[in-house]
A and B are shown apart, each in its own frame.
Chain A
Amino acid sequence: MGADAATWLARIRALDLPPRIRIMNVCGGHERAITLAGLRAALPPGVELIPGPGCPVCVCPEEDVYEAIQLARHEDLVLLAFGDMLRVPVNLPRREIRTLEQARAAGADVRPIASPREAVRIARAEPRRQVVFFAAGFETTMAPVAAMLLEGIPDNLSLLLSGRLTWPAVAMLLDSGRPGFDALVAPGHVSAVMGAEEWGFVVERHGLPVAVAGFTPVSLLAAFYSVLRQWVEGRRFLDNCYREVVHPGGNAAARRQLRTAFEVTDANWRGVGRIQASGFALRPALAAADARRRFPSHADTSRKRVGQMPQGCDCARVVLGQIYPNECRIYGRPCTPRTPVGPCMVSDEGACRIWWSGGVRERRERAAG
């Protein structure tokens, strides 16, 4: 790539930019890098960087989290989940058990894991117990889950799957007619697996500039420069500013494994609703590993606010890029990483959590427009 951050910034400043232009990212890693490096303040004032749907934990269906909590509490099993899932609250009254962490405190065998490999290890170590892996994530996480399944898992291990694809959420925003952004920075790790080509539709169908970015300030600034320059020059193409990692076609073996293990289905996103062809489901050949088949359903559709974000929480609008995190009515008061109200303040990939960790402590009113 060559140029350093100062050079990219100078190139951006030299562009004849419109008074306002909004660039969306759809990756918690991007948002974290942008916030930690202070890139918002470094860019010209009219350039807005908008965090969009980039947090799989935030959009994991409320009813799936509820199901996981009930399985852990009412069946004799070990419930495994990625660490930041444990504190995501479901919509139950405060005196009831609302998170996996609270279920664990109440005696359920809930364990945080960092890798699907740990799930296999735990199930092998305890062959006489049922082990359920509550697996939420985007393509980058679902490829390892597919690998785990295809390499072979012990009979006592099953999956409560909540995998999601990234691009359909962006397609949904664009198809709505009011996407809320003028250009897209596409996610580096997702593209490393799936290939940058997945984002071609943003250019071809919607005529917006796109660039794939990595996770350093330099790679992000290169991508911002690319989309801004495309905008200014009236050209549109899919640029790749992360060539070191994102190769044409992505990781073909990983994509093959994703296809072998999963089919793509319509799926619910918490607070957002159903998005076409946006979820992973186990293929019939792997149905035996489906926790939803192995255990009776604990769903309770009579609960108040099933599927929604917690009361007062604006996560759904944060996830869709309609407001900035600190424009939520309860950002910082009472919602903080220590006392999170919504999943966006729980997960490492949630925009609220990232902004808070990055030092944004002031709430602000939504500006008109």
Chain B
Amino acid sequence: MRIQSIDGFVARCEARGVEREVSLFLMQDETLAPGDFVMVHVGYAIQKVTPEEARSSWELFDLALAAEND
């Protein structure tokens, strides 16, 4: 997801129009700023990623959802 704003260990993140609060508590060794992309698992950023990587993860997520809904 893409970081929009950071307040302490909490970031507002966005991906494809979905906004979420994400914890940065596991990212304490990284310097993060709005505009950076992070991989999010159960509400926590677990790694910094490139924009391309963020995009492909989301494509896969969409595929999975499509399969569930048929």
Q: Which A residues form the contact surface with B (CB < 8 A)?
A: 32-33, 36-37, 82, 114-118, 137, 140-141, 143-144, 147, 150-151, 189, 192-193, 214-216, 244-245, 247, 251-254, 257, 357-358
Q: Complex formed: what's the CA distance from A253 to B38 in Å?
A: 15
Interface of A is mostly: helix
Q: Is B63 an interface residue (CB 8 A)?
A: yes
B contact residues around A141 at 8 Å (CB)? 41-42
Q: Is B26's CB under 8 angstroms from A254's CB?
A: yes
What 3 pairs between A and B have smallest CB-CB spacing?
A115-B43, A144-B44, A147-B25
Query: 24 A-B pairs, CB-CB below 8 angstroms?
Result: A36-B67, A82-B42, A114-B42, A114-B43, A115-B42, A117-B21, A118-B43, A140-B41, A141-B41, A143-B26, A144-B46, A147-B23, A147-B25, A189-B41, A192-B47, A193-B47, A215-B57, A216-B59, A216-B60, A245-B47, A247-B47, A251-B46, A253-B28, A253-B30
CB distance from A191 to the nearest CB of B (A): 10
Q: Complex formed: what's the CA distance from A316 to B56 in Å?
A: 32
The one of B29, B46, B60 in contact with A215, judged by C-beta atoms closer than 8 angstroms, is B60
The one of A115, A117, A143 in contact with B46, judged by C-beta atoms closer than 8 angstroms, is A143
Point out which of A118, A137, A151, A244 has the most chain B C-beta atoms below 10 A from its C-beta.
A244
Q: Complex formed: what's the CA distance from A141 to B30 in Å?
A: 20
Known A151-B25, A192-B47; judge A245-B39 contact (CB<8 A).
Answer: yes
Q: Is B52 an interface residue (CB 8 A)?
A: yes
B contact residues around A137 at 8 Å (CB)? 42
Q: Is B47's CB under 8 angstroms from A251's CB?
A: yes
Question: How does the 8 Å CB contact mask read for B49-70 relative to A, with 1 for contact and 0 for none?
Answer: 1101100110110011001100
Q: Is B63's CB under 8 angstroms from A36's CB?
A: yes
Point out which of B42, B47, B52, B63 has the most chain A C-beta atoms below 10 A from its C-beta.
B42
Q: Is B26's CB under 8 angstroms from A253's CB?
A: yes
Q: Is B27 an interface residue (CB 8 A)?
A: yes
B contact residues around A114 at 8 Å (CB)? 42-43
Q: Is B29's CB under 8 angstroms from A193's CB?
A: no
Q: Is A252's CB under 8 angstroms from B26's CB?
A: no
Point out which of B21, B39, B43, B46 has the most chain A C-beta atoms below 10 A from its C-beta.
B46
